[in-house]
Amino acid sequence: MTHFPQPHPSRRAVRVQLGDSVLAAIRLEDGRRTKAKLQTISATGGLLRLAHSLGQGDFVEVAFQTQAGPVHGMAEVLSPMKKISDGVLQAFRFVALEDDDHRRLRTSLDHVAERNVLGLKSSAFSTY
């Protein structure tokens, strides 16, 4: 069954800052592929570091690896947030995740949150 992540109207989803350590594979609607680095992730979306911006409103497939296993979902590309020296930071929101992908994502996010509370570094997300 497919999960359709919905933002909570009065509470922002917990975000996890990943830096440049997690690679993400992106497949565009026309079949082209590109790579990105996952800067931030939450249960409802994230922030990608890309060499070139994607079209706002485009639908893409996003895949990345977590300690709990691979996460693969459909996402809508949002407006570029910031140009940086080697590309752009661009947000996305998940529009559909299979139940297993959603479970792996939530498990990894929960693991990072628990480790942060304890003041420990987490490796719940890994390179792809």
pLDDT tens for residues 85-123? Answer: 889 999 999 999 999 999 999 999 988 777 665 555 555
The chain-wide mean pLDDT, for the chain, equals 84
Neighbours of 97 (CB within 10 A): 23
Shortest CA distance to 74 belongs to which of 104, 37, 109, 45? 45
Q: Residue 15: is it exposed, middle or buried by C-beta count within 10 angstroms (0-12/13-18/19+)? A: middle
Res 63 pLDDT > 80: yes
Domain that holds residue 122: 2-126
pTM of the predicted model, to two decimals?
Answer: 0.81
Burial class (CB in 10 A: 0-12, 13-18, 19+), 106: middle
The pair of three-digit structure tokens given for residue 6, joined into one six-digit string: 């919905």
Count structural domains, the chain: 1
CATH of the domain at 23: 2.40.10.220
